[in-house]
Structure 1
Amino acid sequence: MYRHIFALQQVARRTISSSARRQAQNKVPEKQKLFQEDNGMPVHLKGGSADALLYRTTMALTVLGAGYVVYELVKASFPQKKD
């Protein structure tokens, strides 16, 4: 039994250690160039259409949430009439 576990450990160790490492391209200089460019656009929108969509969604949720909070405060400030 112990022999099988030891063999399994060796096989697992061999597969992990012998796997080839992928070289990832460094994209940091490209991103720095994009975000440091002076084109009059705010930095939170320089990422493209995905950033614009995320920004608009966040602002819409913020406005709706603030409106709901005001509605609940107004509703709570006036007592309900009991029949």
Structure 2
Amino acid sequence: MNRHIFALQQVARRTITSSVRRQVDNKVPKKQKLFQEDNGMPIHLKGGSSDAILYRMTMVLTVLGAGYVVYELVNAAFPQKKT
């Protein structure tokens, strides 16, 4: 019985520690170099294809949202007549 409790204490103690199990490399200098180089590309597209996809999706959602707002404003300005 005591052996099981001792094992449980060790497992619990091991998972709560704040030490890092593996070292992560610092990617900030690489990203700074990539974004600061002057290659004529807009800053919002320098991150690669994922940035391009996110930019296009944002633009599509913005246009659709603006269109929906205009649609609702027109509906509010000209309500349907009840017969």
TM-score range, shorter chain: 0.7 to 0.9
Q: How many residues align?
A: 80
Q: Please identify runs of 4+ aligned residues in structure 1 that moved more than 4 A.
A: 3-6
In structure 1, C-alpha distance between the alignment counterparts of 2:47 and 2:66, rounded to whole Å: 27
**Superposition deviation, residue 79 in structure 1:** 2.4
**Superposition deviation, residue 26 in structure 1:** 1.3
CA separation of 1:6/1:73 partners in 2, compared to 1, >3 Å: closer, same or farther? same
**Superposition deviation, residue 20 in structure 1:** 7.0
Percent pairwise identity: 75
Query: Which residue of the partner structure matches residue 22 of structure 1?
Result: 22
TM-score, with normalisation over the residues of structure 1? 0.80
* Residue 33 in structure 1 maps to residue 33 in structure 2: yes
In structure 1, C-alpha distance between the alignment counterparts of 2:3 and 2:81, rounded to whole Å: 77
Which ranges in structure 1 are unaligned for 5 or more consecutive residues? Answer: none
**Superposition deviation, residue 36 in structure 1:** 0.4
Query: Which residue of the partner structure matches residue 59 of structure 1?
Result: 59
RMSD of the TM alignment (CA)?
A: 2.4
CA separation of 1:20/1:45 partners in 2, compared to 1, >3 Å: closer, same or farther? closer
Which ranges in structure 2 are unaligned for 5 or more consecutive residues? Answer: none
Query: Which residue of the partner structure matches residue 43 of structure 1?
Result: 43
